[in-house]
Structure 1
Amino acid sequence: MEKREDTRFYLVRGDVLPDAMKRTLEAKELIDRGQATSVWEAVQRVDLSRSAFYKYRDTVFPFHRVVKEKIVTLFFQLEDRSGTLSTLLTEVATFHCNVLTINQTIPLQGRANVTLSLNITGLTVEIDEMIAELRRLEFVDKVEVLGSGA
């Protein structure tokens, strides 16, 4: 019987990835950004064996590298205060994202849920950096990626 290679893909939170995969991602980033001139230098800097790097380099990718459609839907839980949605949209605009849809629930118990679908073609940073910045807004309780697609 012929062995079939498993080519299914999964979206996995970074905190559950094995250490070797995380370090492989770090080494790849060092190389991509020109902060390491060789695989040897990159793996030394992140304390990873070359064999582990070569084992995982073609199988583990940051989320922003695999989003091909350039449309991302984000879920937010916001404090119910005057101007929060406006401030959130202004912040999203600073990253050069185009808002495609906005859905907001009626605030209950001082919180409102907002879902934004964004065209991220013009995104000026990595998507995970943008999400981290949005999480830092004082009125944002939660940010989650609901999906990506056309």
Structure 2
Amino acid sequence: MKMNQLWHTKSAKETVSCGRGIAKLLIPGDVLALIGDLGSGKTTFVKGLAAGLGIADMRLVKSPTFVIFHIYQADTPIYHFDLYRLETEADLDDIGFDEFLSDRNAISVVEWADRIPSISERATVTVEISVDNEKERTIRLYRGLLARNLTTNIQGE
């Protein structure tokens, strides 16, 4: 996988800000695959993404680990999935996952996307978050045409 962009954040606030910036460049139908260890800041990143897409109260954005997914009503609906507890792709069929990802009127965000390899193939962009230390994170943006466009637009700001 070719890396298209890299950010270093020094706080949760900066990780939120990174998510907010990327959100402004997304269009309905996009699928974001989020990869990172437990506690790396995936849900923190999604809070920024949701804020950038019109969610006024970021406290509404919570990790869907135990419920598998949340739907956030924003300017563009957000489907927020967490695959941490799932074992196989068949588990996704039970929740209608494929229909959600195919919704061209919403943005889908999938935490732990690397647990189900076929998700990465459907992702418009993949974001990998790694822990540098207690507060600092490295955020890597990968994949295709959208990733190149995001990089161009963010660098141009």
Asked if Structure 1 and Structure 2 have the same fold, meaning a TM-score greater than 0.5 normalized by the shorter chain, the answer is: no
Choose between structure 1 and 2 for higher RCO, CA contacts under 8 A separated by at least 6 residues: 2
> Over alpha carbons, which structure has the higher Rg?
1
TM-score where L is the length of structure 1: 0.26
- Give the TM-score normalised by structure 2: 0.25
